[in-house]
Structure 1
Amino acid sequence: MDLRQLRYLIAIVEAGSVTDASRRLHVAQPALSQRIASLEEELGLQLLVRTRQGVSPTAAGQELYARAKIIVKQVAAAAAATREKAGHVGGRVGIGLLRSMAPYLATALFRRLRAEAPGIVPEIVVGYSDELVQAIDDARLDIALRVLPVGAKPALPVLLDEPLCVVGPPALLAGMPPQLELSDLAALPLLVSPTQPIHQVLQRTARERGLSFQVVGSVESSTAAAQLCAEGYGAFVTPKAAAQFVVNASGGRLDQRIVTGFDRQVGLYANPEVARSASVETCERILLEVLRERARELL
């Protein structure tokens, strides 16, 4: 088993086709198939199932694919560390940002990285917490922000302890106190998203307490939700820094209130099986600095 075979396996599994993988790798299809056949023969296992619809991994192939991703990442980290010893800090670094934080972090983070570490090529990916954790475990990202499980003892240092807020037109929130209970939300027309973890938690807790929300629609994009709320369609719930960001940008068309009892804790996650290079550590340092700076401005 060699590194090239592992890279070929990764490409085929991700492409779902030997033909597509050969194009991506710029390797002749017969040569690619032969290397995978040699790997299967060496292991004494079938790794791929070939059908008219394409190629999919067997259980053994899926296991090797997952481990191959980590191995390739470790080799890349070792190469980067070697270059760094010679004074060359750079290369691609995958950074995951939570969807609710991306609007006020992504551009500031990119600018700082280009200014302070021009040799690094940042690859910023936006997603929900579980998606980013999976991307780290699959070796598609190097570091990512994640929401720590509610009620569990944090396994990661808490970088940000952030309340949730409801955002809506000033007229809709007029007369409401600065801090609201969950029951107060039942009086508001709400835009929600069934895929957003914070909305899932709110709706599950409401059901447990015998409450029901006035859901007027579902919008995945917080930017779109803010625009619709500014036009008077209702209110939406988002973490406080994101709430402050959209309120500041609304020119007085939006206001906010804190929702008590639903603080979320944010930490930084990396795969413990992959050694972090100086480039990754540089990105981590700058990400934390930008996060703290923006949090001071918005919280």
Structure 2
Amino acid sequence: MDVRQLRYFVHIVDYGSLGKAAEKLFVAQPSLSQQVARLEEELGVALLLRSNHGVTPTAEGEALYRHARVVLRQMEQLRQEVTQGGVAASGTVAIGLPTTMASVLAVPLFERVQDMFPAIRLQFFESMSGYLNELLANGRLDLAILFRESDTPGIGSVPVFDETLYLLGEPGGDIGARSGTCALAKLGGVKLVAPGVSNGLRMLIERVFASEKIDLNVVADIDSLPSLLLIAHSGRACTILPASAVAQLDPARMPRMRKIVEPVIRRPVSVCWPNSMPMHAATVAVRRTLLGLIAELVERETWKGVTLREIDRSM
């Protein structure tokens, strides 16, 4: 087993196809298949399941994939630190941002890292939090912002803030057009669109409505932030989201936003990382920069609906 074989294998799993991986690597597909066969022979297990739809890793392949990504990242870090004269804060850092927060954090974080650590190359992954959690657990991310407040096996975290949820759209009824708040009880039976049932935000909404014994009327499951906002703006249904979801939205397309009260709905937000291996200097630098940036945005009131927790910015 060598680094080249590991790199080939990781690309195959990432692309889900021998053909696509071969194209990306500029390697003939038969040669790529041969390298995988040698790996499987050496390890004595099947690593890939092949079908007409591509390839997926077996359980043993998943284990190899996780470890291979760590090894390849360490090799890249070693190469960059040596070639760049021992500069510690260098290398690639992959960070996952929930879709609702990317518009608030991605550009400022990119600019600050570029200014402070020009030898660090950022990779941004924007997606729903559940998928980011999966990427983090599989070793594909170095850092991620997730909606949790405690560690789980394999993942460390530092709680950063609590995010308030808002009603977007016009629910009708006796809610004043100029009111900046909406009591949760007023939402009984109101048409709502929300992310799918496996989404963390959806589960929080369902849990709060159930605990308050209020009828939750979700008329469509939509795992698309732009679509949720467009529907809320159209007046056909409302949605429930944090203020960060509309931070960069054109005011002309902004649905009416009211803070949900009685009770206020909040969710904890943490910066997370895999804790199975020591953290590289570049990842530590980006984590510290991210924590400081979040604190600054909240303290300057640039970020609405956020309650900052005590943060150790020197982490």
The TM tier, using the shorter chain, reads: 0.7 to 0.9
- How many corresponding residue pairs? 296
Instruction: Please say if residues 192 and 219 of structure 1, whose CA atoms lie closer than 8 Å, have aligned partners that are also in contact.
Output: yes
Unmatched 5+ residue regions in structure 2? 306-315
Answer yes or no: is 1:193 the counterpart of 2:195. Answer: yes
Gaps of 5+ in 1: none
In structure 2, distance between residues paired with 1:18 and 1:175: 57
1:219–1:133 CA distance, 2 compared to 1 (3 A): closer
Which amino acid is 1:139 matched to?
G
The Cα of 1:148 is off from its aligned counterpart by: 0.5
**Residue in structure 1 matching 2:288, options 262, 265, 285:** 285
Identity of aligned residues (%): 28
Q: Distance in 1 between matches of 2:29 and 2:227?
A: 45
Deviations 1:165-192 (A, max 9, x none): 2123497741797655432221543232
Name whichever of 135-144 and 229-238 sits farther off: 229-238
The Cα offsets for residues 258-282 of structure 1, whole Å up to 9 and x where unpaired, read as 3425311111111112333332223
Matches of 1:90 and 1:147, distance apart in 2? 28
More helix by proportion, 1 or 2? 1
The equivalences for 1:43-54 within 5 A come to: 43-50=43-50, 54=54
Counterpart code for 1:290: L
Q: Shift of the alpha carbon at 1:83?
A: 5.1
After TM superposition, the structure 1 = structure 2 runs for residues 5-16 of structure 1, keeping only pairs within 5 Å, are 5-16=5-16
Decide whether the 8 Å contact of 2:182 with 2:258 is kept in 1.
Answer: no
Rounded to whole Å, the distance in 1 between the matches of 2:158 and 2:97 is 17
Residue of structure 2 equivalent to 1:182: 184
Q: Which residue of 2 aligns with 1:166?
A: 167
Match of 1:105 in 2: 105
In the TM superposition, residue 61 of structure 1 has moved relative to its aligned partner by: 2.7
Contact in 2 for aligned 1:170/1:253 (Cα 8 Å): no
**Taking structure 2 as the reference length, what is the TM-score of the superposition?**
0.77
Which of 245, 265, 268 is the aligned partner of 2:268? 265
For residues 256 and 110 of structure 1, the distance between their equivalents in structure 2, rounded to whole angstroms, comes to: 31
Give the 3 Å change call, closer, same or farther, for CA 76–276 of structure 1 in structure 2: farther
Label 1:76 to 1:133 Cα distance change in 2 as closer, same or farther (>3 A). farther
Q: TM-score if structure 1 supplies the norm length?
A: 0.81
Q: Distance in 2 between matches of 1:210 and 1:171?
A: 20
Which letter does structure 2 place at the counterpart of 1:226? L
Shift of residue 100, structure 1, vs aligned partner:
1.6
